C-alpha cells in the first residue's frame, strides 16, 4: 500500500481546542495548557544544560504514558520539527526520525489511541496510507494500546445454588481491583466495552512493563501528560476515588530526567486517598516548579474540577525549594516564590498567604480543630429526618438537619447525649457554590441552645455552658481572618474538622472583630488588603449551604 505525499499543515482551526471530553476521568488537555507546560520544560532544560535548546536535540526521548488526544506529542513533534531543521535538513527524514525515535505514548483506551495517532501521525494507523511516518511496520507505531484487565481481589465469599444444576457454587461479591481499587460490579465488562484498567498502573514493575512495550534499552528523558483523574468507587451519588496519584507515582518510577504533569490541585490539601501522596510530594525536593490555576473552569474551559488544576515540573537532579506561581485569568498574579513545600502538612497555594500564616502561628496558640467535632456528631446521617412537631414525643429534641428543623425523641440520638444540653455552634459540613471563585469558605454559624442536636449536615464547631460565649464564638467564626485561614486548607466543598487547623483558638473574653485580630497578629496593610481580596464579608442572609452540586472530580 502506497502512502500519501508528506505534508505538515498548520492547525486552523485547531480541532483539539473544541473536542469534548469522553468521560469524567478522560479530561482532554487544551493545546494552550500543553504548550505552557512545554515552555516550562524547555526553560528548565536550558537551565541545566548550559542554555541548550531542548528542541534542537535529536537524541531526547519523550513519553506520554496516558495519552488521550495526543496533544502533548503533537506539540512536541511540531517544536522538534522546527528545532532540528538545521541538523536534519530534509523535512521527511526529520519528521520520520522524530516520530520513530523520539516520541512515544501509551493510550488509556482504544479510542484515545486512535485519536492520538490521528493527531500525531495524521492517521489512526501508524503505517496507514495517510500516515506522515514512513518506517513503522505496525498499526500502533509508538502509540501503544492493548486491552488490560483488572485484577479482582478481596470481597465477600458467598455460597449459592446453581439454578441449572442444583449444585452449590462459590461466588465472590464486592471485589475490587488490587491495582486501582475499581469495583468489580462497576468495571467487570464484556469484550465490547472499555475496562478502564489502565496499563501503566496495573503492574508491579513499571520498568519491566515499559521494556515490554518499547524495548529493554528504552530510557525516557522526559515524561509528560495529563493522567485520568478518578474512578467511581461505588459510593453515594457521584462519589469517586482519585487515581491520578497512581499514574504520577508509576511515571516517576521510570526515573526520567524531567517529568511534567497536570492534575487536579486537591492533593495540595484534601481529597480522600491522597494523604500519603501529598506527604510524599511535599517532601520531594526534586519538585522544581508548580503553576497553579485555582479559578474554576480556567485551565480546562467547561470542565468543573473543584479546587482547580495545576501542573508541576519534577527534576531528577534537583534538590531545593520549589517555585510556586498562581495564574488568574490567563496571567500570573503576585510574584513567583521559591519555597520548601513541606513547611506545613498542606501546600499553601498563594505565596502572599505564607507570611500571614507565619505571623498567626508565631503565637503558638492551640487551633480550632481541637474544638470542632468529627463528621456525624450525633450519629445521625444527612438523610435522617424527625417529625414536624414535638407533639407526642417523649423528651423531644430539636434536630437541625438538611435545610429544615425537625423533632426527635432523645432516645433516638445514638451518641454524644451530653452535648444535647449544652450551648452549641453548628457549621455546615459542606460549604461551597457553583461560582468560579469561592469567597465565603464557611457558612454562617448557627447558635443552637440546650435541647438540640443535628444530623451529619452539620459539625458541632464548639460547645459552651452559656449563650454569651457561644455568641462570641459564632462572631469569631464569621471574621474574614478565620475564614481566610480555613481557605488555606479547604480545597473542596467539604468543611471538615481539618480545615480549622490553622485558625487559632483565641480566648472568648471579648467580641472579636477583624480589626482586633489584625492588630493581635501584627498584619500589615498589604496583608490585610490581600485577605479582604480573597474573603467576602458574610451578609445576614447567608446560610452557606450548597450541597446539590455534582462535580467532575469528586475526590
13: left (phi over 0), alpha (psi -120 to 50) or beta: beta
Is the CB of residue 61 less than 8 Å from the CB of residue 219? yes
Q: Residue 55: inside a domain, yes or no?
A: no
281 found inside a domain: yes
Residue 50 lies in a domain: no
Quick one: 395 and 451 in the same domain?
yes
- Residue 122 and residue 184 in one domain: no
Residues 11 and 73 in one domain: yes
3-state secondary structure at position 291: strand
* 234 φ, ψ (degrees, to nearest 5): 80, 5
More confident residue, 553 or 183: 183
pLDDT of 21 strictly over 70? no
Same domain assignment for residues 432 and 514: yes
Least confident of 70-79, 231-240, 341-350: 231-240
CA distance 197 to 243: 11
Instruction: Answer whether residue 554 shows pLDDT above 50.
Output: no
Confidence of residue 433 (pLDDT cuts 50, 70, 90): low
Q: What is the pLDDT of residue 152?
A: 93
Q: What are phi and psi of 152, to 5 degrees?
A: -80, 135
Q: How far apart are CA 25 and CA 241, in angstroms?
A: 10
- Tell me what pLDDT residue 25 has: 58
Domain boundary residue, one of 351, 375, 395:
351
- Of 30-39, 59-68, 155-164, 276-285, give the lowest mean pLDDT range: 155-164
pLDDT of residue 304: 83
More confident residue, 290 or 168: 290
In a domain, 98, yes or no: yes
Long-range Cβ pairs for the range 544-548 (8 Å, 24+): 544/428, 544/431, 544/440, 544/442, 544/443, 544/444, 545/403, 545/428, 545/430, 545/431, 545/443, 545/457, 546/430, 546/431, 546/432, 546/433, 546/434, 546/493, 547/402, 547/428, 547/430, 547/457, 547/493
Please indicate, yes or no, if residue 69 is contained in any of the structural domains. yes
Length of the chain: 555
Domain count, the chain: 4
Residue 23 is assigned to a structural domain of this protein: no
> With 90 as the cut, is the pLDDT of residue 15 above it?
no
- Is it the case that residue 548 has pLDDT exceeding 50? no
209 with 262, same domain?
Answer: no
Q: What is the pLDDT of residue 547?
A: 39
Residue 72 contacts residue 48 (beta carbons within 8 Å): no
Are the CB atoms for 383 and 419 separated by under 8 Å? no
Pair (367, 441) in one structural domain: yes
Question: What pLDDT sits at residue 237?
Answer: 42
Alpha carbon distance 271, 482 (integer Å): 22
pLDDT tens digits, 383-409: 999 999 999 898 999 999 987 899 999
Whether the upstream peptide bond of residue 290 has omega within 30° of 0, thus cis, is: no
Lowest mean pLDDT among 16-20, 26-30, 199-203: 16-20
Listed in sequence order, the residues at least 6 apart from 253 whose beta carbon sits closer than 8 Å to its beta carbon are: 206, 207
Q: What is the enclosing helix (H) or strand (E) of 28? A: none
| Same domain assignment for residues 71 and 140 | yes
* Band (546; pLDDT cuts 50, 70, 90): very low
Most confident segment among 13-17, 125-129, 452-456: 452-456
**Is 219 contained in some domain?**
no
* 368 and 456 belong to one structural domain: yes
Q: Is 138 exposed, middle or buried (0-12, 13-18, 19+ CB in 10 A)?
A: exposed
3-state SS class at 53: coil
Neighbours of 371 (CB within 10 A): 18
- Residue-wise pLDDT tens digits, 249-280: 999 999 999 999 999 999 999 777 899 999 99
What's the mean pLDDT when you consider all of the chain? 89
Q: For residues 34 and 29, what is the distance between their CA atoms, to the nearest angstrom?
A: 7
User: What's the pLDDT score for residue 273?
Assistant: 85
Mean pLDDT to the nearest integer, 68-89: 96
Residues 91 and 232 occupy one common structural domain: no
Residues 202 and 80 placed together within one structural domain of the fold: yes
- 18-22, 222-226, 246-250, 449-453: lowest mean pLDDT where? 18-22
* 508-531: pLDDT as tens digits: 999 999 999 999 999 999 999 999
> Is pLDDT above 90 for 334?
no
- Quick one: pLDDT at residue 435? 65
- Domain annotation covers residue 159: yes
Which residues does 535 contact at the CB level (< 8 Å), separation at least 6? 439, 440, 441, 480, 483, 484, 487
Across residues 25-34, what is the average pLDDT?
86
Share of the chain above pLDDT 70, in %: 90
Q: Name the β-bridge partners of 185.
A: none
Q: How far apart are CA 493 and CA 479, in angstroms?
A: 19
d(CA 103, CA 84) in angstroms, rounded, equals: 14
Cell of 17: 481546542
> Is the confidence at residue 555, as pLDDT, over 50?
no
User: Strand 103-107 vs strand 62-67: parallel, antiparallel, or unpaired?
Assistant: parallel
The answer on 154 and 143 residing in a single domain is no
| Structural domain harbouring 160 | 149-190
Residues 364 and 468 in one domain: yes
**pLDDT value at position 82?**
97
Amino acid at each position: 500500500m502506497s502512502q500519501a505525499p508528506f505534508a505538515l499543515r498548520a492547525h486552523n482551526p485547531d480541532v483539539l481546542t473544541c473536542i469534548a471530553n469522553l468521560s469524567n476521568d478522560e479530561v482532554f488537555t487544551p493545546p494552550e495548557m500543553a504548550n505552557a507546560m512545554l515552555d516550562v520544560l524547555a526553560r528548565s532544560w536550558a537551565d541545566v544544560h548550559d542554555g541548550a535548546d531542548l528542541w534542537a536535540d535529536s537524541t531526547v526521548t519523550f513519553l506520554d504514558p496516558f495519552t488521550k488526544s495526543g496533544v502533548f506529542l503533537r506539540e512536541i513533534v511540531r517544536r522538534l520539527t522546527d528545532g532540528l531543521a538545521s541538523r536534519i535538513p530534509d523535512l521527511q527524514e526529520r519528521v520520520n526520525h522524530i516520530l520513530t525515535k523520539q516520541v512515544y505514548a501509551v493510550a488509556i483506551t482504544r479510542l484515545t489511541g486512535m485519536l492520538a495517532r490521528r493527531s500525531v501521525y495524521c492517521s489512526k494507523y501508524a503505517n496507514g496510507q495517510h500516515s506522515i511516518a514512513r518506517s513503522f511496520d505496525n498499526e500502533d507505531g509508538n502509540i501503544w494500546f492493548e486491552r488490560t484487565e483488572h485484577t479482582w481481589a478481596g470481597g465477600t465469599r458467598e455460597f449459592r445454588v446453581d439454578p441449572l444444576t442444583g449444585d452449590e457454587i462459590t461466588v465472590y461479591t464486592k471485589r475490587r481491583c488490587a491495582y486501582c481499587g475499581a469495583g468489580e460490579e462497576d468495571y467487570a465488562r464484556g469484550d465490547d466495552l472499555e475496562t478502564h484498567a489502565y496499563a501503566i498502573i496495573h503492574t508491579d514493575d513499571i520498568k519491566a512493563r515499559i521494556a515490554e512495550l518499547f524495548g529493554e534499552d528504552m530510557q525516557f528523558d522526559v515524561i509528560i501528560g495529563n493522567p485520568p483523574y478518578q474512578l467511581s468507587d461505588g459510593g453515594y451519588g457521584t462519589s469517586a476515588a482519585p487515581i491520578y496519584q497512581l499514574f504520577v507515582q508509576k511515571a516517576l518510577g521510570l526515573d526520567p530526567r524531567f517529568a511534567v504533569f497536570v492534575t487536579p490541585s486537591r492533593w495540595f490539601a484534601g481529597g480522600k486517598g491522597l494523604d500519603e501522596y501529598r506527604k510524599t510530594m511535599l517532601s520531594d525536593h526534586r519538585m522544581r516548579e508548580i503553576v497553579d490555576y485555582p479559578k474554576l473552569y480556567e485551565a480546562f474551559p467547561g470542565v468543573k474540577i473543584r479546587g482547580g488544576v495545576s501542573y508541576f515540573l519534577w527534576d531528577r537532579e534537583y534538590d531545593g525549594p520549589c517555585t510556586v506561581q498562581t495564574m488568574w485569568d490567563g496571567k500570573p498574579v503576585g510574584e513567583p516564590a521559591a519555597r520548601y513545600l513541606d513547611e506545613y502538612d498542606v501546600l499553601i497555594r498563594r505565596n502572599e498567604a505564607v507570611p500571614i500564616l507565619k505571623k498567626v502561628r508565631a503565637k503558638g496558640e492551640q487551633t480550632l480543630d481541637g474544638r470542632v467535632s468529627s463528621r456525624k456528631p450525633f450519629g445521625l446521617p444527612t438523610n435522617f429526618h424527625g417529625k414536624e412537631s414535638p407533639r407526642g414525643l417523649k423528651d423531644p429534641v430539636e434536630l437541625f438537619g438538611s435545610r429544615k428543623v425537625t423533632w426527635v425523641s432523645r432516645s433516638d440520638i445514638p451518641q454524644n447525649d451530653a452535648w444535647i444540653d449544652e450551648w452549641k455552634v453548628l457549621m455546615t459540613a459542606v460549604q461551597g457554590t457553583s461560582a468560579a471563585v469561592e469567597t465565603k469558605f464557611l457558612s454562617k454559624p448557627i447558635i443552637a441552645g440546650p435541647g438540640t442536636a443535628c444530623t451529619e449536615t452539620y459539625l458541632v464547631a464548639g460547645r459552651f455552658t452559656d449563650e454569651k460565649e457561644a455568641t462570641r464564638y459564632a462572631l469569631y467564626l464569621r471574621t474574614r481572618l478565620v475564614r481566610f485561614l480555613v481557605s488555606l486548607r479547604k480545597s473542596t466543598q467539604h468543611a471538615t474538622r481539618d480545615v480549622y487547623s490553622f485558625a487559632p483558638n483565641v480566648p472568648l473574653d471579648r467580641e472579636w472583630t477583624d480589626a482586633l485580630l489584625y492588630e493581635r497578629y501584627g498584619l500589615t496593610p498589604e496583608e490585610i488588603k490581600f485577605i479582604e481580596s480573597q474573603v467576602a464579608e458574610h451578609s445576614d442572609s447567608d446560610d452557606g449551604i450548597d450541597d446539590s452540586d455534582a462535580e467532575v472530580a469528586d475526590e
